[in-house]
Amino acid sequence: MPPETKRTIHTSLAPAGRGPFPQAVAVGSLVFVSGQGPLSVETSQPIAGTFEDHVQQTFANVEAVLRADGLDLRHIAKVTVYLADLGNVPAFNDVYERLMPAPRPARTLVQVGLRGIDVEVDVIAIRPERMPALSMPQRSET
Protein backbone atom coordinates (compact mmCIF):
# COMPACT_ATOMS: atom_id res chain seq x y z
CA MET A 1 0.00 0.00 0.00
CA PRO A 2 1.45 3.39 -0.92
CA PRO A 3 2.20 5.46 2.20
CA GLU A 4 -0.04 8.30 1.01
CA THR A 5 -3.12 6.07 1.36
CA LYS A 6 -2.49 5.58 5.08
CA ARG A 7 -2.23 8.43 7.57
CA THR A 8 -1.91 8.62 11.32
CA ILE A 9 -4.21 10.55 13.64
CA HIS A 10 -3.06 12.19 16.85
CA THR A 11 -4.69 14.42 19.43
CA SER A 12 -3.48 15.90 22.69
CA LEU A 13 -7.04 15.41 23.99
CA ALA A 14 -6.46 11.67 24.50
CA PRO A 15 -3.59 9.85 26.20
CA ALA A 16 -0.60 9.02 24.03
CA GLY A 17 -0.06 5.34 23.30
CA ARG A 18 2.20 3.32 25.58
CA GLY A 19 4.17 1.95 22.67
CA PRO A 20 5.39 2.60 19.14
CA PHE A 21 1.95 3.03 17.57
CA PRO A 22 -0.36 5.97 16.75
CA GLN A 23 -3.67 6.73 18.44
CA ALA A 24 -5.36 5.91 15.13
CA VAL A 25 -4.71 5.21 11.47
CA ALA A 26 -6.99 6.24 8.61
CA VAL A 27 -7.07 4.21 5.41
CA GLY A 28 -9.63 5.33 2.86
CA SER A 29 -13.02 5.56 4.57
CA LEU A 30 -11.89 3.50 7.59
CA VAL A 31 -10.40 4.80 10.83
CA PHE A 32 -8.76 2.25 13.13
CA VAL A 33 -8.46 3.55 16.70
CA SER A 34 -5.74 1.86 18.76
CA GLY A 35 -6.69 0.43 22.15
CA GLN A 36 -7.84 3.08 24.61
CA GLY A 37 -8.21 2.55 28.34
CA PRO A 38 -9.28 4.52 31.41
CA LEU A 39 -6.22 6.75 31.33
CA SER A 40 -6.06 10.41 32.29
CA VAL A 41 -5.28 12.75 29.42
CA GLU A 42 -3.02 14.80 31.69
CA THR A 43 -0.97 11.99 33.26
CA SER A 44 -1.50 8.99 30.94
CA GLN A 45 -2.06 7.02 34.17
CA PRO A 46 -5.21 5.07 35.11
CA ILE A 47 -7.92 7.24 36.64
CA ALA A 48 -9.37 6.55 40.08
CA GLY A 49 -13.02 5.61 40.46
CA THR A 50 -15.44 2.81 39.80
CA PHE A 51 -15.41 0.38 36.92
CA GLU A 52 -18.22 2.44 35.38
CA ASP A 53 -16.02 5.56 35.61
CA HIS A 54 -13.28 3.59 33.84
CA VAL A 55 -15.61 2.65 30.98
CA GLN A 56 -16.76 6.26 30.61
CA GLN A 57 -13.16 7.52 30.50
CA THR A 58 -12.23 4.83 28.00
CA PHE A 59 -14.99 5.92 25.62
CA ALA A 60 -14.16 9.61 26.20
CA ASN A 61 -10.63 8.80 25.02
CA VAL A 62 -11.95 6.89 22.00
CA GLU A 63 -14.22 9.78 21.09
CA ALA A 64 -11.40 12.33 21.48
CA VAL A 65 -9.32 10.38 18.95
CA LEU A 66 -12.27 10.13 16.56
CA ARG A 67 -13.04 13.85 16.89
CA ALA A 68 -9.46 14.62 15.89
CA ASP A 69 -10.47 13.27 12.47
CA GLY A 70 -13.95 14.81 12.37
CA LEU A 71 -15.82 11.71 13.60
CA ASP A 72 -17.61 10.65 16.78
CA LEU A 73 -19.14 7.56 18.39
CA ARG A 74 -21.93 7.47 15.78
CA HIS A 75 -19.36 6.57 13.11
CA ILE A 76 -18.16 3.40 14.84
CA ALA A 77 -18.88 0.19 12.91
CA LYS A 78 -16.97 -2.29 15.11
CA VAL A 79 -15.97 -2.29 18.79
CA THR A 80 -13.62 -4.77 20.42
CA VAL A 81 -13.79 -4.77 24.23
CA TYR A 82 -11.10 -6.26 26.44
CA LEU A 83 -12.04 -6.86 30.08
CA ALA A 84 -9.79 -8.09 32.87
CA ASP A 85 -12.82 -9.63 34.63
CA LEU A 86 -15.92 -10.99 32.86
CA GLY A 87 -17.83 -10.28 36.06
CA ASN A 88 -17.83 -6.66 34.85
CA VAL A 89 -19.83 -7.41 31.68
CA PRO A 90 -23.19 -6.24 33.14
CA ALA A 91 -21.66 -2.97 34.38
CA PHE A 92 -19.90 -2.49 31.04
CA ASN A 93 -23.17 -3.07 29.17
CA ASP A 94 -25.00 -0.51 31.34
CA VAL A 95 -22.51 2.23 30.50
CA TYR A 96 -22.18 1.10 26.86
CA GLU A 97 -25.94 1.35 26.32
CA ARG A 98 -25.95 4.92 27.66
CA LEU A 99 -22.92 6.06 25.66
CA MET A 100 -23.20 4.25 22.34
CA PRO A 101 -25.84 5.70 20.01
CA ALA A 102 -28.18 3.44 18.08
CA PRO A 103 -27.82 1.70 15.78
CA ARG A 104 -25.01 0.21 17.81
CA PRO A 105 -21.95 -1.22 16.09
CA ALA A 106 -20.92 -4.84 15.86
CA ARG A 107 -19.04 -5.85 19.01
CA THR A 108 -16.67 -8.47 20.32
CA LEU A 109 -15.92 -8.77 24.05
CA VAL A 110 -13.14 -10.91 25.46
CA GLN A 111 -11.39 -11.44 28.77
CA VAL A 112 -7.66 -10.73 28.73
CA GLY A 113 -4.83 -9.92 31.07
CA LEU A 114 -4.49 -6.14 31.17
CA ARG A 115 -1.60 -4.25 32.79
CA GLY A 116 -2.89 -1.91 35.48
CA ILE A 117 -6.32 -1.32 33.92
CA ASP A 118 -9.60 -3.23 33.89
CA VAL A 119 -10.96 -2.27 30.44
CA GLU A 120 -9.59 -1.43 27.00
CA VAL A 121 -11.47 -0.73 23.77
CA ASP A 122 -10.41 -0.44 20.16
CA VAL A 123 -12.75 0.55 17.35
CA ILE A 124 -13.13 0.78 13.61
CA ALA A 125 -15.06 3.80 12.39
CA ILE A 126 -16.30 4.70 8.92
CA ARG A 127 -16.16 8.11 7.32
CA PRO A 128 -19.64 8.37 5.74
CA GLU A 129 -18.78 10.74 2.87
CA ARG A 130 -16.34 8.16 1.51
CA MET A 131 -18.70 5.23 1.85
CA PRO A 132 -20.27 3.96 -1.37
CA ALA A 133 -24.04 3.98 -1.36
CA LEU A 134 -25.36 0.46 -1.07
CA SER A 135 -28.79 -0.67 -2.11
CA MET A 136 -29.52 -3.99 -0.52
CA PRO A 137 -32.89 -5.62 0.08
CA GLN A 138 -33.92 -5.89 3.73
CA ARG A 139 -34.06 -9.41 5.10
CA SER A 140 -37.28 -10.29 6.83
CA GLU A 141 -37.33 -12.32 10.01
CA THR A 142 -39.49 -15.42 9.74
Q: What pLDDT, in 10s, does the model give residues 74-84?
A: 999 999 999 99
Does the bond joining 103 to the residue before it have cis omega, within 30 degrees of 0?
Answer: yes
Q: What is the pLDDT of residue 3?
A: 54
Q: What pLDDT, in 10s, does the model give residues 59-78?
A: 999 999 999 999 999 999 99
pLDDT band at 39 (very low <50, low <70, confident <90, very high): very high
pLDDT band at 5 (very low <50, low <70, confident <90, very high): confident
CATH 3.40.50.300 for the 3-129 domain, yes or no: no
- Return the beta strands (E) in the chain as ranges: 6-9, 24-27, 30-36, 76-83, 106-111, 119-126
Q: What pLDDT, in 10s, does the model give residues 97-123?
A: 999 999 999 999 999 999 999 999 999
Rounded to 10°, the helix 51-67/89-99 angle is 40
